[in-house]
């Protein structure tokens, strides 16, 4: 596989993985806030809390776009670095045999 295609594939895979992990984290935060009837947060990324509104419980939340962007970039770069590192180790191992 050509190096450019490999970089694009790893980058897109990391981007999808980062988005999925962010959504799972947000859902977990919302579930925690509802279950505990209190406040839950991923610091700098997402906050959710329960509060009464007209004598009914309601969910309020505050997303932080900058924090979400940072999470996406960090996880994507981490995935790409790990993929290249593991790929290099495996290719060296195959050459030694």
Q: What pLDDT, in 10s, does the model give residues 28-43?
A: 999 999 999 999 999 9
- Say whether pLDDT at 97 is over 60: no
> Is the pLDDT reported for residue 89 higher than 90?
no
Q: What is the pLDDT of residues 62-86, one digit of tens each?
A: 999 999 999 999 999 999 999 888 7
Nearest to 41 by CA among 58, 20, 64: 64
Asked if 17 and 77 touch (Cβ cutoff 8 Å), the reply is no
Alpha-carbon gap, residue 3 to 97, rounded angstroms: 24
pTM: 0.82
Residue 95 has pLDDT above 80, yes or no: no
Average pLDDT over the chain reads 89
């Amino acid at each position: 596989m050509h190096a450019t295609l490999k970089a694009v594939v790893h980058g897109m895979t990391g981007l999808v993985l980062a988005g999925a992990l962010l959504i799972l984290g947000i859902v977990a935060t919302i579930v925690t806030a509802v279950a505990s009837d209190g406040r839950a947060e991923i610091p700098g990324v997402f906050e959710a809390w329960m509060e009464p509104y007209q004598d009914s419980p309601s969910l309020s939340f505050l997303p932080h776009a900058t924090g979400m962007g940072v999470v996406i970039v960090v996880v994507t770069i981490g995935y790409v670095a790990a993929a290249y590192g593991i790929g290099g180790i495996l290719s060296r191992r195959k050459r030694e045999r």
